[in-house]
């Protein structure tokens, strides 16, 4: 049995697509509340598949996977929706709504949860201040740079103060300085109490932002260490 502060626990998890391709095999892993975890490995190693399983976008073909107290393989749709409400998700391509202002993009998760406007406005302003974008409240995403759009995506992910934040290659399209700033924001969220799992192949960024490093290769778990032991020249791509 996993400890009470274990947010995610997997035992011999396997994911096989209908095509027969095995995306993940034999994944056994515990992630504890308050940790910062880098998910590394080459393109196609299974990083995105594992993140998708954590928020219920995919279900394991076999094995056990427990997320925020729910067994994913047996979860009802209402339980999966509850996991998503309690999880902030940041994608590499932001997935912002370009027809909505920055304010409306960030407010969306709060509206889904039924927040009243007065509380909602104050909360959105506060998180935009955290990511240093409070001066762009009424801008549209297309007027922002890639780094600014990613900061809005982080604000949207954190606005409900979720216990878990998943980031899938959030620095993949950014220059190194901007990428480090995005990592500063994510480590800041971790210090505020959110557990952060970040898929990345930019291993050189890990030297300035230490954390646990879980390495996948060809769908299997091949390493679980701390980033202070990772050589910055070892990135796969």
Q: Is residue 22 part of a domain?
A: no
In the predicted model, is pLDDT for residue 156 greater than 60?
A: yes
Q: Is residue 25 part of a domain?
A: no
Q: Is residue 74 part of a domain?
A: no
Name the range with the highest mean pLDDT among 170-174, 202-206, 226-230: 170-174
User: Can you give the CATH number for the domain in which 41 is found?
Assistant: 3.40.50.300
d(CA 159, CA 102): 13
Q: Is residue 222 part of a domain?
A: yes
Radius of gyration of the chain, Cα coordinates, nearest whole angstrom: 18
- Residue 210 pLDDT: 86
Tell me how many domains the chain contains. 1
- 58-73 pLDDT tens trace: 999 999 999 999 999 9
d(CA 234, CA 120): 44
The pLDDT of 39-54, averaged and rounded, is: 94
Q: Is residue 2 part of a domain?
A: no
Q: Which long-range contacts (CB under 8 A, 24 or more apart) does 177-185 make?
A: 178/146, 178/147, 178/150, 179/205, 180/205, 180/208, 180/209, 181/147, 181/151, 182/147, 182/150, 182/151, 182/154, 183/208, 183/209, 184/209, 185/130, 185/131, 185/151, 185/154
Is 196 within 8 Å of 37 (Cβ atoms)?
Answer: yes
The pLDDT of 107-121, averaged and rounded, is: 93
How high does pLDDT run on average in the chain?
91
Higher-confidence position of 20 and 204: 20
- Residue 124 pLDDT: 97
- Which stretch of DSSP H or E encloses residue 65? strand 62-67
Q: Is residue 115 part of a domain?
A: yes
The pLDDT of 172-196, averaged and rounded, is: 92
The pLDDT of 187-191, averaged and rounded, is: 94
Q: Is the pTM of this model over 0.85?
A: yes
Q: Is residue 73 part of a domain?
A: no
In the predicted model, is pLDDT for residue 36 greater than 50?
A: yes
For residue 104, give its domain range.
Answer: 34-56+80-229
Number of Cβ atoms within 10 Å of the Cβ of 214: 22
The pLDDT of 169-196, averaged and rounded, is: 92
d(CA 125, CA 230): 38
In the predicted model, is pLDDT for residue 231 greater than 50?
A: no
- Residue 1 pLDDT: 44
- Residue 4 pLDDT: 57
d(CA 186, CA 195): 10
**pLDDT level of residue 172 (50, 70, 90 thresholds):** confident
In the predicted model, is pLDDT for residue 130 greater than 50?
A: yes
Q: Is residue 140 part of a domain?
A: yes
**pLDDT level of residue 235 (50, 70, 90 thresholds):** very low
């Amino acid at each position: 049995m996993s400890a009470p502060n274990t947010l995610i626990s997997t035992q011999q998890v396997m994911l096989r697509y209908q095509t027969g391709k095995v995306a993940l095999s034999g994944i056994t892993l515990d992630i504890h509340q308050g940790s910062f975890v880098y998910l590394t490995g080459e393109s196609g190693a299974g990083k995105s598949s594992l993140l998708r399983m954590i928020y219920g976008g995919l279900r394991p073909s076999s094995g056990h996977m427990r997320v925020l107290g729910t067994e994913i393989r047996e979860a009802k749709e209402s339980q999966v929706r509850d996991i998503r409400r309690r999880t902030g998700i940041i994608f590499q391509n932001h997935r912002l709504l370009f027809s909505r202002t920055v304010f409306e993009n960030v407010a969306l998760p709060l509206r889904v949860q039924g927040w009243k406007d007065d509380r909602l406005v104050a909360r959105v302003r506060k998180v935009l201040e955290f990511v240093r974008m409070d001066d762009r409240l009424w801008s549209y995403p297309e007027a922002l740079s890639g780094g600014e759009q990613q900061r809005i995506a982080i604000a949207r992910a954190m606005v409900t103060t979720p216990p878990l934040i998943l980031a899938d290659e959030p620095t993949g399209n950014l220059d190194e300085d901007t990428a480090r700033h995005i990592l500063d924001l994510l480590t800041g969220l971790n210090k505020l109490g959110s557990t952060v799992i970040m898929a990345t192949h930019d291993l050189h960024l890990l030297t300035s932002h230490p954390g646990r490093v879980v390495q996948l290769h060809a769908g299997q778990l091949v390493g679980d260490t701390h980033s202070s032991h990772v050589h910055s020249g070892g990135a796969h791509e």
